[in-house]
Structure 1
Amino acid sequence: MIPAKIDSTSITSISKKSVESIFDWLNQHKQAFYTLGWSYLSNQKEMEELFYRSILKIHKELPRFKSETSFETWVTSIFIHICRELSIDRGLQASGEGEPRQSIFKALDQLKDIEKEAMVLTYVKGLSHVEAAQLLQISVEKLKELLFSGIQSLRIEMGYGSSFNGCKEYYKEYIDYLERTLDRPKKIDLEIHIYHCQECQVDLAGFQDVMLTMIDLTDGMKDLHIPSGFMENVKARLVEKEKDRQQKNKKRLRMGIVFASFIALLIGIEVFTESFTSLYYTWTEKDQELRPFLQQDLGERMNLEAESDGVKIKIRSVIADDVQTLVFYEIEDTNEENKYMMNYDDGVIVENELDLMNTEGHPRYYPPDLKSDGNKKEKNVYQGKISLLPLNKENGTIKLKITRLLKLIRDSSDQKVISTPLYPGYETGEWNFEIPVTKQPSVEYALNQETEVEGIPVRFDKLTIAPTATILQYGINNEKPEKMIDVLNIDNLEVNNKIVKTDLYGSTFMNSQQDMNWTTFQTNFEPLFGEKPKEVHVQLASINLTFQDPKTIELDAAKQYPQTFEYAGSTISIDKLEVGQPSIIVISDHEVKNRAYEAINFNIVGEDENEPITTEMNTDGVLVDKNGTEYDTNEFPVPFDEIEQPRYFVTVQSMKLDGNGTGEKVVPKKLEIFGYSATKYLEDVVKISLK
């Protein structure tokens, strides 16, 4: 359940408040997520670890969050992923620790993982079939198949017997029939058949009993007791981690190392060596991504190899700097025609991470690339790269342990990876490496350039040129809350007439306390390989803005709906207002052409303005690219990578309101709009001279 005020507020406000704000958000929704976690885990120690890891993971991944999905759905995917990790760890440890669990939980534990995911998301989390299917990256029909097989398995586990004698051609109708969503002609046909078929009567009755048990479980678990001090224990661990971070920062000695400071000994030999190295790797290194690093003498080829159950991993090279430790690898399936990739924080472990690496760093995300020349040749070989934390020492040996690989599932064109981050295919095993590594120097350049974007001051502070990335640090002034830039999107960076594109997954918010009136960000670009900048051009692409534009709409359940009102140049409809347990409100605006806003930020107020209201919100919307072409988000998969600068317009918002668990009816009296969010495309170029 999500309070409307929080759910409708820009996620940027959460990122600005960092870990503390994420803790507060999860604390407000702890009952629903505690219930979800209890479906997987069996003791309070594991539950505390679950909430602790989830908060850190949400904070870490927040820059990658895209508003095409709701914040709650995105958090749920992370939460379940960690649930699964902890439940797997518990199974491997076989500790036997645990608290008494309801029999339904024990029965759920016996299901196949994918069946359990479907059952938990649908009946415990209470997601719709569409939402659950999207999270699992499967079709709604496939979800229903999993629900059916899961319920059939639960029938056996719960003692209903193992024989199923009903007519199989009607099995696919059971779910929709019992959920009262079956089309009327099919419903009539099924009821006529059941009336004459005793076997189907028995089958359907047992099926219904299991579904009712799941529903009763869900209702009962709304009051699942959370031990006193539970969230306080989680917060104490977060505070302790923050203290450790601050202590490490005090001990760190930051030294700017400039490429130009290298003394060229034996200049003639050096020049010859560099020329030969570049030419040699041009001839011999086919990987176009790795080749420039080797040509610049920033790394060397390696011949490290490990094999487990016919899957062979080769470490091809490692490039380390102050930004990240970049590992180039190759994975070959010698038994079948599968492609696998490494996934950071998912079966990839640096065993000496605390000793060798800077844990305050942020590894980059590199999506799988099946279009590269190296990955088009063999169906059983994948060449990729993975980002690890940067080193905190000049050199060392990385003890890398790999226990799980992500299977890349391709569509029929063999071009797109359609594997899901929530329930992908895995290959387990154990591959161990000891990788020698040396940290390469980076260069920092002060920019001290200020401009205005849409009347809001923007300050460009620093340019960092590292071997593996180019990083632009900038600040946005936040003194005037009536109009604020949440995100500044940069298309590319031109340095000395050389253009480098923005890394779509590399922008981060920096929790800088240097100036209360400025919020600091950094955007990552492709590497420049030691280029000394004389002139920098920053090509802006778009900005995401939040406007304060308050308006209060009086609500009256006695009126006939729909009712409309004008806001920000648009006509918004209140389609439904029903008072009950829960109360329901639906608002919509389907006209997106020339609309000033993409989403409105609002709150629902009841008769008692001080009484908190818990809101479950579902949204529908449409993606619109820069040229005005619309894309239906209900069609899967949505081609996000192919859409030019998409905007997500919310068209329908459906809310269920209750009295924050009190059981009292909520009578909505006001719709309080705070403002709205919008995207504006830019063509501005900011020119910065360093001469």
Structure 2
Amino acid sequence: MAQVGIDPMMVSVDAGGELESIINRIEGERQKLYALARVYIGRDEDIEDVFYQSIIELHRQSGKRKRRKSIASVFLENCRRIAGRSGTSEGEDAFWVLRQLDEADKDAVALVYLKGCTQEETADLLDITIDEVKARLYRGIRKLREDMGFGTAFKGCEHYQKHYVDYLGRTMDRPEKVDFEIHIYHCSDCQDDLASYQEVTFALDDLIRNAALPAGFMERIRSRLNEREARREKRKKKRKSIWLSVAGVFALLICTGFVTGGFAKLYYSYTEEFEPLRPYLQHNLAERLDLVSESEGVKMTIKSVVADDMQTLIFYEIEDTKEDNRYIMQAYEGVYIENELDVMNMERNPQDFSMPVDQDEIHNEQKNIYRGTMKLRPVGVDKGTIKMNVARLMKLNQDPSLGEMYARGAVFAEGDWSFEIPFEKQSSQEHKIDKEIDLDGIKVRIDKLTIAPTSTVVQYSFQNQQGNTRVEFLLLESLSDGENKVVADMYGSNIMDVFNTQENWTTLSTSFDSFYFDKPEELDIKFNSLHLSVEDQQDIKLPDPKELPTSFEYAGSTITINEITEGNPAKLSLTLEVTEDRIFEQLNYGFHRDYEQNESISFGMNGEGVLMDKDGNIHEMGSYEYNPLDRPRYFEKTQELTLHNESSDADVSIKTINIDGYTTTKYVDDHVKVTLD
């Protein structure tokens, strides 16, 4: 494993300067900032990255004249960006219940009740009105009250509920406050409602107090900042670019180019080893860069970059000069874009995962070299430089029987590879479609189709509510122009943050390989599946543990209760019958609890399941090889439900299971043809 060893005591962090001032401010708020991060992120390693990258961003802003972002704003942006990498066990994390809130409500609750921002500051950070902040806070606390186990049977007067936030926050005007207190004094329903609301805010205060930072947390961040400064000084002295020489072939092709006029296409077809890069070079959409950085025997070369409105593709090669290892680079996993806010379009969701390139398909037989691409956000400016720092690379398997995928145990090479990558944004072709169809009783609209050099993106909307069924996702399968067919990027679907004039509609986008060089006049869009959440409530009164096992029917299937264990945590063991005609894939649970006092209860679940293909055949996990585009359904077959009492050591007693509904998948085989203007 390649590593960089730098003595953190060798470099002082700008003592007495702006950076030291920023670090001191962060340390002064570290408890609240750590609690804020825990709302979005479960792993301490990722939270450490939030602190580290936020300090760097705040320091970079300090030298600019434009309006600077606040600490809370920068932290919130980084929390959202890194949140997808978190992997926290539900039953062990007191912040889990906050992560289940709607994103808008979660932001408001986290900023006000954990970070301590005022309503005005929160409105400014989220770019919404103060009234909307209050509405989000009320919704969030009400949902937390239910999920934390405080109950749902509260009947406060609707006219006065809107004042709870201001009253408890002591921001209420005196005339309204007097009227509110008089009403509360005479209304027992509002007394109970307000008290339960306040109990939730007290529980959030406890979360802050009990969210202890890991030992050495800030010390490690300071050490990383020291190492960064050392690397920056080192790069100033050693940075260089290595350009490959192909003099003999070049001279021959120059002559050919003068005769045929096809110099660029012919030249790159012979000299570019990495086939996915060739068409971009041949059509003058990219240029060779061959930027090189080496750390402890691992050499990385940025071969080229293609940037457009959809994404940014980095073409690279990694060579282990000491051993036969292949390493891959993944965006935001040890990769940091230093000037991301300046050059990237932050409104677009990043493609966090880039599928490994099959080295056999590109005829690379060298076991110590990997050639691949990495996806980043699209650029937000027409021309500029991407400042990219790479701290670690992930090792790939070399065992042919396992396929070209990550080595087990996630083996990394750590080091320091840094680049300044020049780019120029390429134009895209946007086609407005606005074509509506009926898909299994659900209205679907193809909004637009964008053909960019790096990808073709279909934006579409669908009606998300149909009676007691909610459509969570509608997945596309393929695009075809009659001659060429490309399948959907399984990691390239995003919920679009657009305004729908029609109520209960959701907008998605799905990416495909590009038709940019084919210039199609018509495309056929094939749909794959609908992912549904169905409301189907059923309460099951649990029997005496001595009567177990016992079974009950739900949605036409048999569920067996194997074991009930009271304690802290309380546990419930279930077996779910799996048959070809089982309707539900996963169950959505709720619990009715009758405790002597209000308790903060967290809910966790784990178990095992099986896969079912489109033909109804059942396969055990780990033994079924399939094409991801087949999208087999995952059915839970065993479950262990756990309830933790977070507020005390008192035992939890489960008396009733409440099944709120279930999720299921419906395969579709519909097509729609769209004409491009």
Provide TM-score, normalisation by structure 1: 0.61
Deviation track 1:443-463 (CA, whole Å, cap 9, x = no partner) reads 211111111222111111110
Tell me, yes or no, if structure 1 residue 461 matches structure 2 residue 430.
Answer: no
| Cross-structure match for 1:388 | 376
8 Å Cα contact 2:607/2:640 also seen in 1: yes
| Cross-structure match for 2:386 | 398
Secondary structure of 2:630's partner? coil
Q: Which amino acid aligns with 2:673?
A: K
| Cross-structure match for 1:4 | none
8 Å Cα contact 1:456/1:484 also seen in 2: no
Q: Which amino acid aligns with 1:689?
A: T
How far off is 1:427 after superposition?
A: 2.4
| Cross-structure match for 2:539 | 552
2: CA distance between counterparts of 1:436 and 1:400?
11
| Cross-structure match for 2:659 | 673
Alignment of 1:145-544 (within 5 A): 230-232=114-116, 242-243=126-127, 275-364=262-351, 365-374=353-362, 376-411=364-399, 413=401, 415-419=403-407, 424-495=410-481, 497-515=483-501, 516-544=503-531
8 Å Cα contact 1:398/1:435 also seen in 2: yes
How far off is 1:654 after superposition?
A: 1.2
How far off is 1:605 after superposition?
A: 0.9
Q: Which amino acid aligns with 1:467?
A: P
| Cross-structure match for 1:647 | 633
CA distance 1:274–1:590, change in 2 (3 Å):
farther
| Cross-structure match for 2:238 | none
1: CA distance between counterparts of 2:588 and 2:524?
35
How far off is 1:428 after superposition?
A: 2.8
CA distance 1:624–1:557, change in 2 (3 Å):
same
| Cross-structure match for 1:82 | 46
Secondary structure of 2:491's partner? coil
Please list every run of 5 or more consecutive structure 2 residues that lacks an aligned counterpart in the other structure.
Answer: 1-25, 57-86, 94-109, 129-256
CA distance 1:681–1:227, change in 2 (3 Å):
closer
Deviation track 1:350-388 (CA, whole Å, cap 9, x = no partner) reads 322222222222332212234444474111111111122
Deviation track 1:250-295 (CA, whole Å, cap 9, x = no partner) reads xxxxxxxxxxxxxxxxxxxx99998543333333333221112222
8 Å Cα contact 2:37/2:47 also seen in 1: no
Identical-residue share of aligned pairs (%): 35
Q: Which amino acid aligns with 2:355?
A: P
Deviation track 1:543-593 (CA, whole Å, cap 9, x = no partner) reads 211122222222343661222222211122222234344332222213232
8 Å Cα contact 2:111/2:122 also seen in 1: no
| Cross-structure match for 2:252 | none
Tell me, yes or no, if structure 1 residue 595 matches structure 2 residue 579.
Answer: no
8 Å Cα contact 1:543/1:681 also seen in 2: yes
2: CA distance between counterparts of 1:317 and 1:503?
22
1: CA distance between counterparts of 2:524 and 2:346?
32
How far off is 1:324 after superposition?
A: 1.6
How far off is 1:439 after superposition?
A: 0.3
Secondary structure of 1:359's partner? coil
Secondary structure of 1:82's partner? helix
8 Å Cα contact 2:356/2:404 also seen in 1: no
2: CA distance between counterparts of 1:638 and 1:234?
53
How far off is 1:335 after superposition?
A: 1.9
Q: Which amino acid aligns with 1:539?
A: K
| Cross-structure match for 1:619 | 607
How far off is 1:82 after superposition?
A: 0.8
8 Å Cα contact 2:436/2:443 also seen in 1: yes
Secondary structure of 1:361's partner? coil
How far off is 1:234 after superposition?
A: 12
Deviation track 1:427-482 (CA, whole Å, cap 9, x = no partner) reads 23333322221100012111111112221111111101111111111112124351
| Cross-structure match for 1:149 | none
1: CA distance between counterparts of 2:620 and 2:125?
43
Secondary structure of 1:354's partner? helix
CA distance 1:508–1:273, change in 2 (3 Å):
farther
How far off is 1:86 after superposition?
A: 6.8
Q: Which amino acid aligns with 1:686?
A: V
2: CA distance between counterparts of 1:363 and 1:575?
44
| Cross-structure match for 1:129 | none
Q: Which amino acid aligns with 2:527?
A: L
Count of residues in correspondence between the two structures: 475
8 Å Cα contact 2:600/2:647 also seen in 1: no
Deviation track 1:506-544 (CA, whole Å, cap 9, x = no partner) reads 001123233332111111111111554432211111121
CA distance 1:353–1:642, change in 2 (3 Å):
closer
8 Å Cα contact 1:46/1:86 also seen in 2: no
8 Å Cα contact 1:496/1:534 also seen in 2: no
1: CA distance between counterparts of 2:387 and 2:667?
46
Deviation track 1:128-176 (CA, whole Å, cap 9, x = no partner) reads xxxxxxxxxxxxxxxxxxxxxxxxxxxxxxxxxxxxxxxxxxxxxxxxx
Q: Which amino acid aligns with 1:547?
A: V
CA distance 1:662–1:366, change in 2 (3 Å):
same
Q: Which amino acid aligns with 2:609?
A: G
2: CA distance between counterparts of 1:234 and 1:453?
46
How far off is 1:678 after superposition?
A: 1.0
2:550 equivalent among 557, 563, 575 = 563
Please list every run of 5 or more consecutive structure 1 residues that lacks an aligned counterpart in the other structure.
Answer: 1-41, 59-74, 93-119, 127-225, 245-269
2: CA distance between counterparts of 1:522 and 1:46?
38
Secondary structure of 1:337's partner? coil
8 Å Cα contact 2:460/2:507 also seen in 1: yes
2: CA distance between counterparts of 1:654 and 1:327?
44
Deviation track 1:95-123 (CA, whole Å, cap 9, x = no partner) reads xxxxxxxxxxxxxxxxxxxxxxxxx999x
1: CA distance between counterparts of 2:605 and 2:125?
33
Provide TM-score, normalisation by structure 2: 0.62
CA distance 1:486–1:340, change in 2 (3 Å):
same
CA distance 1:414–1:678, change in 2 (3 Å):
closer
2: CA distance between counterparts of 1:474 and 1:274?
42
CA distance 1:526–1:642, change in 2 (3 Å):
closer
2:618 equivalent among 609, 617, 630 = 630
Q: Which amino acid aligns with 1:431?
A: W
Secondary structure of 1:302's partner? coil
8 Å Cα contact 2:612/2:632 also seen in 1: yes
8 Å Cα contact 2:589/2:660 also seen in 1: yes
Secondary structure of 1:293's partner? helix
2: CA distance between counterparts of 1:589 and 1:355?
52
1: CA distance between counterparts of 2:286 and 2:111?
52
